[in-house]
Chain A
Amino acid sequence: MNRQAQSSQAGKRKNILIAGLPTGFINGLLGSGGGSYLVPQLTRRLKLEQQKAHATSLIIIMPTTLLSLAVYLFKQPLPWSMLLYTIAGGCIGGLAGAKLLTKVPGLWLGLVFGIILLISGCRMAWAGFFG
Protein backbone atom coordinates (compact mmCIF):
# COMPACT_ATOMS: atom_id res chain seq x y z
CA MET A 1 0.00 0.00 0.00
CA ASN A 2 2.48 2.64 1.16
CA ARG A 3 5.31 2.37 -1.31
CA GLN A 4 7.03 5.50 -0.03
CA ALA A 5 7.68 3.88 3.34
CA GLN A 6 9.61 1.08 1.66
CA SER A 7 12.29 3.27 0.17
CA SER A 8 15.11 4.37 2.45
CA GLN A 9 15.46 7.91 3.76
CA ALA A 10 18.60 8.53 1.69
CA GLY A 11 16.95 7.27 -1.47
CA LYS A 12 14.04 9.56 -0.87
CA ARG A 13 16.29 12.57 -0.46
CA LYS A 14 18.11 11.73 -3.68
CA ASN A 15 14.81 11.40 -5.52
CA ILE A 16 13.63 14.76 -4.25
CA LEU A 17 16.88 16.37 -5.35
CA ILE A 18 16.74 14.81 -8.83
CA ALA A 19 13.12 15.86 -9.20
CA GLY A 20 13.56 19.36 -7.80
CA LEU A 21 16.84 20.89 -9.01
CA PRO A 22 16.40 20.43 -12.80
CA THR A 23 12.78 21.55 -12.53
CA GLY A 24 13.92 24.86 -11.10
CA PHE A 25 16.77 25.18 -13.58
CA ILE A 26 14.52 24.61 -16.61
CA ASN A 27 11.93 26.97 -15.18
CA GLY A 28 14.55 29.66 -14.70
CA LEU A 29 16.40 29.18 -17.99
CA LEU A 30 13.45 28.71 -20.33
CA GLY A 31 10.65 30.44 -18.44
CA SER A 32 8.35 27.45 -18.68
CA GLY A 33 8.38 23.73 -18.99
CA GLY A 34 9.63 22.96 -15.49
CA GLY A 35 6.34 21.20 -14.91
CA SER A 36 6.79 19.07 -18.00
CA TYR A 37 9.91 17.66 -16.37
CA LEU A 38 8.46 17.57 -12.86
CA VAL A 39 5.25 15.61 -13.48
CA PRO A 40 6.88 12.38 -14.73
CA GLN A 41 9.46 12.69 -11.93
CA LEU A 42 6.67 12.91 -9.37
CA THR A 43 4.92 9.84 -10.72
CA ARG A 44 8.04 7.71 -11.24
CA ARG A 45 10.34 8.70 -8.40
CA LEU A 46 7.96 9.89 -5.73
CA LYS A 47 5.14 7.49 -6.65
CA LEU A 48 2.35 10.04 -6.85
CA GLU A 49 -0.59 9.06 -9.01
CA GLN A 50 -0.92 10.95 -12.28
CA GLN A 51 -3.61 13.46 -11.36
CA LYS A 52 -2.06 14.21 -7.98
CA ALA A 53 1.30 14.72 -9.66
CA HIS A 54 -0.23 17.24 -12.07
CA ALA A 55 -1.91 19.11 -9.26
CA THR A 56 1.12 19.09 -6.97
CA SER A 57 3.44 20.24 -9.75
CA LEU A 58 1.31 23.36 -10.13
CA ILE A 59 1.88 24.51 -6.55
CA ILE A 60 5.59 23.64 -6.68
CA ILE A 61 6.03 25.72 -9.84
CA MET A 62 4.43 28.83 -8.35
CA PRO A 63 7.16 29.92 -5.88
CA THR A 64 9.83 28.78 -8.35
CA THR A 65 8.32 31.00 -11.01
CA LEU A 66 8.20 33.99 -8.67
CA LEU A 67 11.95 33.72 -8.07
CA SER A 68 12.78 33.32 -11.79
CA LEU A 69 10.56 36.25 -12.66
CA ALA A 70 12.25 38.45 -10.08
CA VAL A 71 15.64 37.71 -11.69
CA TYR A 72 14.27 38.41 -15.19
CA LEU A 73 12.86 41.78 -14.13
CA PHE A 74 16.38 43.07 -13.45
CA LYS A 75 17.22 42.69 -17.12
CA GLN A 76 13.92 42.87 -18.96
CA PRO A 77 10.76 44.89 -18.28
CA LEU A 78 7.53 43.01 -18.93
CA PRO A 79 5.13 43.87 -21.77
CA TRP A 80 2.36 44.66 -19.31
CA SER A 81 -0.54 45.28 -21.70
CA MET A 82 0.05 41.98 -23.46
CA LEU A 83 0.32 40.27 -20.10
CA LEU A 84 -3.23 41.35 -19.25
CA TYR A 85 -4.56 39.68 -22.42
CA THR A 86 -2.70 36.46 -21.82
CA ILE A 87 -3.69 36.26 -18.17
CA ALA A 88 -7.35 36.87 -19.02
CA GLY A 89 -7.27 34.13 -21.64
CA GLY A 90 -5.21 31.87 -19.43
CA CYS A 91 -7.59 32.12 -16.47
CA ILE A 92 -10.59 31.17 -18.62
CA GLY A 93 -8.66 28.29 -20.13
CA GLY A 94 -7.09 27.27 -16.81
CA LEU A 95 -10.43 26.79 -15.08
CA ALA A 96 -11.75 24.80 -18.03
CA GLY A 97 -8.59 22.70 -18.15
CA ALA A 98 -8.63 21.83 -14.45
CA LYS A 99 -12.23 20.66 -14.77
CA LEU A 100 -11.44 18.67 -17.91
CA LEU A 101 -8.40 17.06 -16.27
CA THR A 102 -10.55 14.70 -14.25
CA LYS A 103 -12.83 13.83 -17.20
CA VAL A 104 -10.76 13.66 -20.38
CA PRO A 105 -8.07 10.95 -20.80
CA GLY A 106 -5.93 13.42 -22.67
CA LEU A 107 -4.44 10.87 -25.04
CA TRP A 108 -5.35 12.63 -28.27
CA LEU A 109 -4.78 16.03 -26.74
CA GLY A 110 -1.28 14.82 -25.92
CA LEU A 111 -0.66 13.86 -29.53
CA VAL A 112 -1.88 17.17 -30.93
CA PHE A 113 0.09 19.05 -28.26
CA GLY A 114 3.19 17.00 -29.09
CA ILE A 115 2.97 17.72 -32.81
CA ILE A 116 2.53 21.45 -32.20
CA LEU A 117 5.58 21.37 -29.92
CA LEU A 118 7.66 19.51 -32.52
CA ILE A 119 6.82 21.97 -35.28
CA SER A 120 7.32 25.13 -33.25
CA GLY A 121 10.43 23.65 -31.62
CA CYS A 122 12.09 22.97 -34.98
CA ARG A 123 11.22 26.45 -36.15
CA MET A 124 12.62 28.08 -33.02
CA ALA A 125 15.81 26.02 -32.95
CA TRP A 126 16.41 26.83 -36.61
CA ALA A 127 15.72 30.54 -36.17
CA GLY A 128 17.85 30.65 -33.02
CA PHE A 129 20.95 28.88 -34.27
CA PHE A 130 20.89 29.62 -38.02
CA GLY A 131 18.47 32.55 -38.43
Chain B
Amino acid sequence: MIVFIGSILAGVITGMGMGGGILLVPLLVFFTDTSQLGAQGLCLAFSIPTSALAAWSLYRQKKLEIACAKKLVPWTLCGALPGALLASWLSSSVLQGLFGVFLVFLGGREVYSFWQKKGGKK
Protein backbone atom coordinates (compact mmCIF):
# COMPACT_ATOMS: atom_id res chain seq x y z
CA MET B 1 0.00 0.00 0.00
CA ILE B 2 2.79 2.40 0.88
CA VAL B 3 4.38 1.49 -2.44
CA PHE B 4 1.16 2.30 -4.30
CA ILE B 5 0.73 5.72 -2.66
CA GLY B 6 4.39 6.50 -3.18
CA SER B 7 4.03 5.59 -6.85
CA ILE B 8 1.15 8.03 -7.34
CA LEU B 9 3.26 10.76 -5.78
CA ALA B 10 6.28 9.79 -7.88
CA GLY B 11 4.06 9.81 -10.98
CA VAL B 12 2.85 13.34 -10.26
CA ILE B 13 6.41 14.58 -9.88
CA THR B 14 7.55 12.69 -12.99
CA GLY B 15 4.69 14.24 -14.93
CA MET B 16 5.86 17.64 -13.81
CA GLY B 17 9.29 16.79 -15.19
CA MET B 18 11.13 16.76 -11.89
CA GLY B 19 12.37 13.19 -11.92
CA GLY B 20 9.92 11.62 -9.48
CA GLY B 21 11.31 8.17 -10.15
CA ILE B 22 14.14 9.18 -7.89
CA LEU B 23 11.76 9.05 -4.91
CA LEU B 24 10.85 5.45 -5.67
CA VAL B 25 14.33 4.04 -5.08
CA PRO B 26 14.71 5.12 -1.41
CA LEU B 27 11.07 4.18 -0.84
CA LEU B 28 11.65 0.64 -2.11
CA VAL B 29 15.01 0.20 -0.41
CA PHE B 30 13.85 1.40 3.01
CA PHE B 31 10.31 0.04 3.14
CA THR B 32 10.56 -3.21 1.20
CA ASP B 33 13.25 -5.87 0.87
CA THR B 34 14.21 -4.85 -2.68
CA SER B 35 17.95 -4.61 -3.35
CA GLN B 36 19.52 -1.37 -4.55
CA LEU B 37 20.00 -2.59 -8.12
CA GLY B 38 16.54 -4.16 -8.11
CA ALA B 39 15.02 -0.86 -6.96
CA GLN B 40 16.89 1.02 -9.67
CA GLY B 41 15.80 -1.47 -12.30
CA LEU B 42 12.22 -1.21 -11.14
CA CYS B 43 12.51 2.54 -11.26
CA LEU B 44 13.73 2.33 -14.86
CA ALA B 45 10.89 0.03 -15.85
CA PHE B 46 8.48 2.31 -14.00
CA SER B 47 9.60 5.43 -15.81
CA ILE B 48 8.95 4.10 -19.33
CA PRO B 49 5.12 3.93 -19.24
CA THR B 50 4.78 6.93 -16.92
CA SER B 51 7.00 9.14 -19.10
CA ALA B 52 5.17 7.89 -22.17
CA LEU B 53 1.84 8.93 -20.68
CA ALA B 54 3.12 12.31 -19.56
CA ALA B 55 4.85 12.89 -22.91
CA TRP B 56 1.67 12.03 -24.78
CA SER B 57 -0.28 14.56 -22.75
CA LEU B 58 2.40 17.20 -23.31
CA TYR B 59 2.56 16.35 -27.01
CA ARG B 60 -1.09 17.36 -27.30
CA GLN B 61 -0.23 20.63 -25.57
CA LYS B 62 2.50 21.09 -28.22
CA LYS B 63 5.35 21.21 -25.73
CA LEU B 64 7.65 18.64 -27.36
CA GLU B 65 10.79 19.58 -29.32
CA ILE B 66 11.20 16.42 -31.39
CA ALA B 67 14.15 17.72 -33.45
CA CYS B 68 16.11 18.54 -30.32
CA ALA B 69 15.36 15.14 -28.81
CA LYS B 70 16.57 13.35 -31.96
CA LYS B 71 19.95 15.05 -31.70
CA LEU B 72 20.38 14.19 -28.02
CA VAL B 73 19.24 10.57 -27.90
CA PRO B 74 22.38 9.04 -29.54
CA TRP B 75 24.53 10.70 -26.87
CA THR B 76 22.36 9.69 -23.96
CA LEU B 77 22.54 6.11 -25.25
CA CYS B 78 26.36 6.33 -25.37
CA GLY B 79 26.31 7.40 -21.73
CA ALA B 80 23.73 4.88 -20.59
CA LEU B 81 25.69 1.80 -21.62
CA PRO B 82 28.80 2.37 -19.44
CA GLY B 83 26.58 3.72 -16.64
CA ALA B 84 24.40 0.64 -16.53
CA LEU B 85 27.40 -1.71 -16.81
CA LEU B 86 29.09 0.08 -13.92
CA ALA B 87 25.90 -0.16 -11.86
CA SER B 88 25.68 -3.91 -12.30
CA TRP B 89 29.38 -4.27 -11.48
CA LEU B 90 29.50 -2.17 -8.29
CA SER B 91 28.51 -3.66 -4.93
CA SER B 92 25.02 -2.89 -3.67
CA SER B 93 26.18 -0.76 -0.72
CA VAL B 94 28.57 1.40 -2.78
CA LEU B 95 25.81 1.94 -5.32
CA GLN B 96 23.44 2.91 -2.53
CA GLY B 97 25.98 5.37 -1.14
CA LEU B 98 26.50 6.96 -4.56
CA PHE B 99 22.77 7.20 -4.99
CA GLY B 100 22.49 8.92 -1.61
CA VAL B 101 25.16 11.48 -2.50
CA PHE B 102 23.36 12.21 -5.76
CA LEU B 103 20.06 12.66 -3.87
CA VAL B 104 21.67 15.11 -1.44
CA PHE B 105 23.03 17.07 -4.40
CA LEU B 106 19.63 17.17 -6.13
CA GLY B 107 17.83 18.07 -2.91
CA GLY B 108 20.29 20.85 -2.19
CA ARG B 109 19.76 22.20 -5.68
CA GLU B 110 15.97 22.23 -5.28
CA VAL B 111 16.16 24.03 -1.95
CA TYR B 112 18.75 26.48 -3.30
CA SER B 113 16.63 27.35 -6.32
CA PHE B 114 13.66 27.88 -3.99
CA TRP B 115 15.67 30.44 -1.99
CA GLN B 116 16.79 32.16 -5.17
CA LYS B 117 13.31 32.45 -6.63
CA LYS B 118 11.83 33.48 -3.29
CA GLY B 119 14.49 36.12 -2.83
CA GLY B 120 13.99 37.41 -6.37
CA LYS B 121 10.32 38.06 -5.73
CA LYS B 122 10.86 40.32 -2.73
Enumerate chain A interface residues (CB-CB to B < 8 A): 16-17, 19-36, 38-39, 42, 46, 48, 51-69, 71-76, 78-79, 82-83, 85-102, 104, 106-111, 113-129, 131
Contact = CB atoms under 8 A, between A and B. Distances in A.
Interface string B28-51: 111010111111111111111111
Contacts, number: 403
Given A89-B7, A110-B113, A72 B99 contact: no
A128 B45 contact: no
Task: Report whether over half of chain A's contact residues are helix, strand or loop; otherwise say mixed.
Answer: helix
Contacts of A35: 17-19
Contact of B88 (A61, A75, A101, A122): A75
A120 B77 CA distance: 28
A117 B22 contact: yes
Contacts of B108: 114, 118
A91 B72 CA distance: 26
Q: Most chain-B CB neighbours within 10 Å: which of A46, A48, A74, A97?
A: A97
Contacts of B69: 56, 59-60
Interface string B91-110: 00111111111111111111
A122 B100 contact: yes
B25 to A, nearest CB: 6
Closest 3 A-B residue pairs measured CB to CB?
A: A97-B15, A93-B11, A28-B83
B10 A89 contact: yes
Contacts of B23: 116-117, 120
Contacts of B42: 78-79, 82-83, 86
A31 B38 CA distance: 10
Contacts of A79: 34, 38, 42
Contact of B7 (A17, A87, A114, A128): A87
Contact of B107 (A106, A116, A127): A116
Given A82-B42, A97-B15, A20 B54 contact: no
B44 A98 contact: no
Contacts of B44: 27, 31-32, 65, 68-69, 72
